[in-house]
Chains A and B, each alone.
With several copies, the nearest count.
Chain A
């Protein structure tokens, strides 16, 4: 399926939930935060939050900063 992830159009294996997407991307759900179509996905709900073709996804984590 095609999603807009972190500003780039990407083709990923078909997934049904945010949790699935993170798994497909090999990302640790405890290490990142996901914003789906401009809505922050609370961690406990990643497994219940559906992802569909064309969704806008932002996946962020912490980096060094001052």
Chain B
């Protein structure tokens, strides 16, 4: 059971709703992922192309916990503004806080992120902070009131997988709030390896939406997350540079 900001969730896999080829594929993929938490973004209504409705027509808000993000914001003020607008939409007080620092890599601006986290936490938001894999900043975000810290595996949409397992492992070992790895996972073994570091969950979008078969990959990711969590809890065997037979050497014929 994953608990974030006092709320319980069954699944440790959180998913985004961007980049799907069709809304239908999105709906089926999200269902296959088993996710409880689904991220959405705040954008202007398009007054001219009315057909292009919002995402909520497609998501059962009774089934899914909608988590608004502040993707695309490049300053603390901008992210705060988007967070407030999202809250006014009235689903919940949670926000996946992003303050982007670089357009090419979409890496976070951790200074702006810390500032926005401090402000929003004071306003009663439950901030889930998208950050890099720096332990020191992760500790600061926790101290500033983040209910979850979300370090990256690799840059958003890159599919490069877990670039630095050691840093992620260290962050998890040192923080008290849940650690949800966000961004960069490319395939199921990445998700499994991430969970084996002991983290509490994973948020992903592109790896599912851009797979040749998004629904199939959503299922693979669900299994991969469960596998990694189960392996972490079970405690793996030691690595050895020398072989050890799994069959008894005694009792051989002469």
Q: Which chain A residues have a beta carbon within 8 Å of chain B's beta carbons?
A: 5-7, 10, 25-27, 31-33, 35, 40-43, 58-66
Contacts and interface: CB of A to CB of B under 8 A. Distances in A.
Interface stretch (B42-50, B112-120, B187-195): B42-50
B103 interface: no
Interface of B: 16-20, 26, 39-45, 47, 50, 54-56, 66, 68-69, 71, 84-86, 88-90, 156-157, 183, 203-206, 245-248, 251, 253-254
A62 B45 contact: no
B71 A66 contact: yes
Contacts of B19: 64, 66
Given A6-B45, A31-B56, A35-B253, A62 B88 contact: no
A65 B40 contact: yes
Nearest to B245: A66
A3 B210 CA distance: 40
24 contacts: A5-B47, A10-B47, A25-B47, A31-B56, A35-B85, A40-B88, A43-B90, A60-B43, A60-B85, A61-B43, A61-B56, A62-B54, A62-B86, A63-B40, A63-B41, A63-B42, A63-B54, A64-B248, A65-B17, A65-B39, A65-B246, A66-B16, A66-B19, A66-B204
Contacts of A33: 42, 85-86, 88-89
A47 B245 CA distance: 37
Contacts of B54: 31, 61-63
A63 B26 CA distance: 13
Given A61-B43, A65-B205, 9 more contacts: A59-B47, A61-B42, A62-B54, A65-B39, A65-B41, A65-B246, A65-B248, A66-B19, A66-B39
